[in-house]
């Protein structure tokens, strides 16, 4: 049986993993490859790395840390952050990443989704979307690290992204991000049954119950950052508990 | 020495790194001319679409070479799209003939959600010549594909996706194939990869 996925997210700046709240007070928490290895050993199902360096620095450092992660781990990982051409996407996959995440560039130029899917296969293309609820039941897409509203309706953009060829949706609620009050369940429950591709819930996870909620409304994966980095939720404990709640999960007794 | 066929579809580096983990020396091959006597096993990896991958193999003369290789009983291991290409044909983007070393035709999974992406368990349906012993009953493997092989006479293990079944491992003489990515399936994947290599070598 296909299992639900637990996905730690790591922000990378200048080749180091950083954590902070809303991109301020960033603290250096380690080397990407070493943290990836630790998460692999703790039974994370896959990893997402988002490079938040300024664009000039990003091109230089990405090559070394992406390759180092690929050299060390034997689970799938996604790389995102500032990817703006199919050629850049191809370079990252060639370094050993399994998937690339598109965000701002895809909104500005939706054809990039088609180009990347044609070049790398749709299974390698994750469409990352940051949204804010503008009125009950309506969510707006934001780009450029959540700084710029686009006026685009999130549900419409998700449908378009899937039509253009993305293989997965990583959906982040900016209202919930960093709050630890739980994922945006009304949003996720609509999206999970709306499109055929897997949906990864993001933004707001604070407890293991929040992750269960996302799976119960049909999400395929649950992404979180700080609760895993700071040990608030321990991944093996979480997976054992989810299994007890009858969620299909990959869990091996230590 | 293991030869990894690189025809531009997917990442051969990750397969090579998984082999290095087992201290298996490997080399990346772009065309059959690069094969020498030290190579005793070939791996056909790959992600992407069936038809362009088949064209890429044809361009370098792989189908003819591989037919002879398999006819002589030399070992060949397919991974993911590699499994697809080893079959009789594929329906992805219109019917296209495959290499024909394994029985069956690749079809869309027909599931509500696709790709079939994530970790799934295996169900062994017939004897796999001891390959079963290289993993545990509660192991999971990483799958990512929208097309797959329905169960055939070569299928030794299946995976269940929604209400359907798809071939997860095929074996026939000196040919073996995985639908999942052993190089992406953690320690269980590394172990079954080693198991398949040992099995194929015993066979040849």
Going from N- to C-terminal start, the domains of chain A cover 5-244
What is the phi/psi pair of residue A169, to 5°? -120, 125
Query: Which segment of A20-24, B1-5, B74-78, B165-169 scores lowest on mean pLDDT?
Result: A20-24
* Per-residue pLDDT reduced to its tens digit, A161-219: 999 999 999 999 999 998 999 999 999 999 999 999 999 999 999 999 999 999 999 99
Which of A:7-66 have CB within 8 Å of B?
A: 40, 45-46
Q: Which among B21, B115, B140 is the nearest to A167, CB-wise?
A: B115
pLDDT of res. A21: 62
Question: Which chain A residues are Cβ-neighbours of B48 within 8 angstroms?
Answer: 120-121
User: For chain B, what percent of residues have pLDDT higher than 70?
Assistant: 100
Mean local confidence (pLDDT), B71-91: 97
pLDDT of res. B122: 97
| Inter-chain touch B120–A76, beta carbons under 8 Å | no
| Inter-chain touch B184–A98, beta carbons under 8 Å | yes
* Per-residue pLDDT reduced to its tens digit, A137-177: 999 999 998 999 999 999 999 999 999 999 999 999 999 99
Cβ neighbours, 10 Å, residue B39: 18
User: For chain B, what percent of residues have pLDDT higher than 90?
Assistant: 91
What is the value of ipTM here, to two decimals? Answer: 0.94
pLDDT of res. A24: 63
Residue of chain B whose Cα is closest to the Cα of A72: B17
Q: Where are the beta strands (DSSP E) in A34-137?
A: 47-51, 77-80, 99-102, 125-135
Reported confidence tier of residue B204, pLDDT bands at 50, 70, 90:
confident
In CATH terms, is domain A5-244 a member of 3.20.20.70? yes
* Per-residue pLDDT reduced to its tens digit, B130-174: 999 999 988 999 999 999 999 999 999 999 999 999 999 999 999
| Inter-chain touch B143–A167, beta carbons under 8 Å | no
- Apex A48 CA angle, A158 and A122, nearest 5: 45
* Per-residue pLDDT reduced to its tens digit, B174-191: 999 999 999 999 999 999
Q: Directed axis angle between helix A86-94 and helix A111-120, to 10°?
A: 30
Q: Which of B80, B87, B135, B170 is catalytic?
A: B80
Mean pLDDT across chain A, nearest whole number? Answer: 94
Q: Which among A76, A96, A197 is the nearest to B142, CB-wise?
A: A76
Residue of chain B whose Cα is closest to the Cα of A76: B184
Number of domains in chain B: 1
Mean local confidence (pLDDT), B91-105: 95
CATH number at residue B22: 3.40.50.880
Question: Which chain A residues are Cβ-neighbours of B181 within 8 angstroms?
Answer: 76
pLDDT of res. B158: 98
Characterize the bridge pairing of strands B89-90 and B105-108: parallel
Structural domain range at position B15: 2-203
Characterize the bridge pairing of strands B116-120 and B155-161: unpaired
pLDDT of res. A60: 77
pLDDT of res. A192: 95
pLDDT of res. A22: 58
Question: Which chain A residues are Cβ-neighbours of B143 within 8 angstroms?
Answer: 2
Whether residue A127 has pLDDT greater than 90: yes
Its pTM stands at 0.95
For chains A and B, CB pairs below 8 A equal 95
Mean local confidence (pLDDT), B11-16: 91
Reported confidence tier of residue A28, pLDDT bands at 50, 70, 90:
confident
Using the Cβ of A94 and the Cβ atoms of chain B, whether some distance falls under 8 Å is answered with: yes
Mean local confidence (pLDDT), A115-123: 90
Non-local CB neighbours of B54 within 8 Å, separated by 6+ positions: B85, B90, B96, B97, B98
Mean local confidence (pLDDT), B59-63: 97
CA distance A96 to chain B (A): 6
């Amino acid at each position: 049986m296909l299992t639900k996925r637990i996905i730690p997210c790591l922000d990378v700046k200048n080749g180091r993993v950083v954590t902070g709240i809303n991109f301020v007070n960033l603290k250096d928490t380690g080397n990407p490859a070493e943290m990836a290895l630790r998460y692999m050993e703790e039974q994370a199902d896959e990893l997402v790395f988002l490079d938040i360096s300024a664009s000039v620095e990003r091109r230089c450092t990405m090559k070394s840390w992406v390759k180092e992660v690929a050299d060390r781990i034997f689970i799938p990982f996604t790389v995102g952050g500032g990817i703006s051409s199919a050629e850049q996407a191809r370079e990252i996959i060639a370094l050993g990443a399994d998937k690339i995440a598109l965000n701002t560039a895809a909104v500005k130029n939706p054809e990039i989704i088609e180009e990347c899917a044609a070049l790398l296969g749709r299974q390698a293309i994750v469409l990352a979307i940051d949204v804010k609820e503008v009125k009950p039941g309506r969510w707006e897409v934001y780009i450029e690290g959540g700084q710029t509203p686009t006026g685009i309706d999130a549900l419409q953009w998700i449908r378009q992204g899937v039509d253009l060829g993305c293989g997965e949706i990583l959906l982040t609620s900016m209202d919930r991000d960093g709050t630890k009050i739980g994922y945006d369940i009304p949003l996720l429950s609509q999206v999970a049954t709306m499109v055929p591709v897997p949906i990864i819930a993001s933004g707001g996870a604070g407890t293991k119950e929040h992750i269960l909620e996302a799976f119960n409304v049909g999400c395929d994966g649950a992404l979180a950052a700080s609760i895993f980095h700071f040990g608030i939720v321990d991944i093996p404990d979480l997976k054992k508990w989810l299994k007890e709640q009858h969620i299909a999960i990959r869990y091996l007794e230590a | 020495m293991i030869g990894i066929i690189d025809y531009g579809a997917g990442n051969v580096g990750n397969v090579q790194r998984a082999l290095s983990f087992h201290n298996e020396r490997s080399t990346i091959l772009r065309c059959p001319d690069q094969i020498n006597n030290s190579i005793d096993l070939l791996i056909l990896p790959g992600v992407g679409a069936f038809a362009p991958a088949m064209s890429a193999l044809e361009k370098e003369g792989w189908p003819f070479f591989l037919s002879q290789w398999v006819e002589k009983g030399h070992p060949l291991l397919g991974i993911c799209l590699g499994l697809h290409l080893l079959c009789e044909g594929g329906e992805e983007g219109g019917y296209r003939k495959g290499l024909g070393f394994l029985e069956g035709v690749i079809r869309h999974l027909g599931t509500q959600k696709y790709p079939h992406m994530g970790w799934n368990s295996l169900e062994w349906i017939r004897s796999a010549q001891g390959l079963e012993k290289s993993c545990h009953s509660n192991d999971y493997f990483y799958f990512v594909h929208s097309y797959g092989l329905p169960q055939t006479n070569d299928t030794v293990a299946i995976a269940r996706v929604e209400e359907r079944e798809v071939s997860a491992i095929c074996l026939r003489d000196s040919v073996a194939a995985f639908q999942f990515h052993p190089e992406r399936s953690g320690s269980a994947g590394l172990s079954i990869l080693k198991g398949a290599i040992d099995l194929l070598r015993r066979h040849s």
